[in-house]
Amino acid sequence: MKVLVVTNLFPTPWDPRRGTFNRQQFQRLAERHEVHVLTAVDFRERMAGTSGDAGVAGVVSDYFTFFHPPGFGRFLNAFCFFACLMWQRRRDLRNAGYDVMLASWGYPDAAGAAWVARLLGIPYVVKVHGSDLNVQAEFRLRRPQIRWALRGAAGVIAVSRALARKAVDLGASADTVEPLYNGVDTRLFHRGDRSAARARLDLPAGAPIVLYAGNLKATKGCLDLIEAFPALMARHPDARLVYVGDGPCHGNLEDRAAALCVAPAVRLVGAVDHAELADWFRAANVLCLPSHNEGVPNVVLEAMACGIPIVATAVGGIPEVVPDHAGILVPPHQSHELGTALVEAFERHFDPAAIAAHAATFRWEENIDRLERVLLRAVAGANRLPRRRTTPPDQPGRLPNT
């Protein structure tokens, strides 16, 4: 197959660390098929300048600038996505001869890309991740656009069963929806020597360490975690809290750490490359991710692959992948319960080998097998229908080559 992926979640020179889960998946798909990834780059980000190399071996990647209105005008984003894509890449798209399109992210990506697929006369598959349905579909003017994109899709891939149910509730045909967990690269994420990892990262050898890995956004629960941390320090005064990641809440976290008198125990590392996360996982005692909504965050799977337990919120697909022997789940927005869970996590015995063995069941090879079947079904279904011609014949009176 010749597959076109349209998404905002893929490494670009403006954000080389973006969409590492998609990078891993699409790179593996490209080992079997020809994969082109066309990534939307927000116009504000593009003006800020590039920040690194974003080449992905085996994948043909390109970018287009996504211009869109702010604030209330976001209900127009799907149209803007479509218009920007066609304005900047129309000729390339028409001449490439793609068999199928995969739109990764529900809004505006899938809603805008669906129009492009229809113009090209090719089937499309939508991949949904979490807040693209859980949050975006709650907006009155965006919901019908998402519903239209899901209903027209030849397949819908959801990263959890909870998200698959959400897609069906929004209007996707149940027989087109495929729950498909991401995989874990166990060559990179596996158990290792905690003391050695701490030495490399300049972390105290014997301190209890809580790790947060992800975007520093309020919806990820990073502020809830700083509020919960004093409960752990009351029981373990030498405890440390490490945030790995960047985002708009960086300053808020510093302010709250100072106000709660825990600033010396809190470390804000900033963003790191995906491969570097393995050492941070091995160095930690617990990964905490108190998100307000989620699909299935890959950091949870990767941390478990390194043998560390999880304290997280029971939202989205997290309860599907974190069994009792691998962690503790709490309701979202509840800092008191989160603090209690952190204390329990340090006083309860977890079996690192059992946690790592569970995480190893999330295999990228199986993920690609199933993704491939969804895409092949989409192509096969389209081939059974009359195909609209999008380019003129090579010569008058003759059909184009097939």
pLDDT one-digit tens code per residue, 146-164:
999 999 999 999 999 999 9
Looking at the structure, tell me whether residues 149 and 163 fall in a common domain: yes
Higher pLDDT, 392 or 113: 113
Asked if 163 and 198 sit in the same domain, the reply is no
pLDDT at 390: 36
What's the pLDDT tens digit per position in 85-139? 999 999 999 999 999 999 999 999 999 999 999 999 999 999 999 999 999 999 9
Q: Are residues 204 and 321 in the same domain?
A: yes
Which amino acid, one-letter code, is at 103? Answer: A
CA distance 303 to 191: 9
d(CA 115, CA 118): 5
How many whole angstroms separate alpha carbon 23 and alpha carbon 29? 10
Work out the pLDDT band at 348, boundaries 50, 70, 90. very high
The verdict on residue 225 lying in a domain is: yes
Check whether residue 17 and residue 121 sit in a common domain: yes
3-class SS of residue 347: helix
CA dihedral 259→262→265→271, nearest 10 degrees, is: -40
| pLDDT tens per residue across span 234-287 | 999 999 999 999 999 999 999 999 999 999 999 999 999 999 999 999 999 999
Number of separate domains in the chain:
2
Is residue 242 domain-shared with residue 298, that is, in the same domain?
A: yes
Q: CA 298 to CA 281: how far, in whole Å?
A: 12
Domain that holds residue 282: 194-359
pLDDT at residue 385, as a whole number: 54
How high is the pLDDT of residue 58? 94
Q: What's the mean per-residue pLDDT of the chain?
A: 93
pLDDT grade for 387, boundaries at 50, 70 and 90: very low
Residue 107: DSSP 8-state: I
Does residue 334 share a domain with residue 234?
A: yes
Strand intervals (E) in 111-171: 124-128, 155-158
For residue 395, pLDDT beyond 60? no
Torsion of Cα atoms, 120 then 3 then 51 then 189, to 10°: 150
Residue 91: give its domain's CATH number.
3.40.50.2000
**Does 179 share its domain with 235?**
no
Does residue 391 form part of some domain? no
- Alpha-carbon span 326 to 304, nearest angstrom: 7
In-domain check, residue 350: yes
Q: How much is the pTM?
A: 0.91
- Classify residue 396: in a domain, yes or no: no
Of the candidates 101, 127, 117, 85, the one whose C-alpha atom is nearest the C-alpha of residue 3 is: 101
User: Does 28 fall in a domain?
Assistant: yes
Structural domain includes residue 400: no
> Is the residue at 402 inside a domain?
no
137 in Cβ contact with 143 (< 8 Å): yes
Could you tell me if 96 and 161 lie in one domain? yes
Residues 11 and 105 in one domain: yes
Report whether pLDDT(4) > 70.
yes
Sheet holding 124-128, edge to edge: 60-66, 34-42, 2-7, 100-104, 124-128, 155-158, 177-179
- 19 pLDDT above the threshold of 60: yes
Q: Let me know whether 66 and 84 are in one domain.
A: yes
336 and 372 both lie in a single domain: no
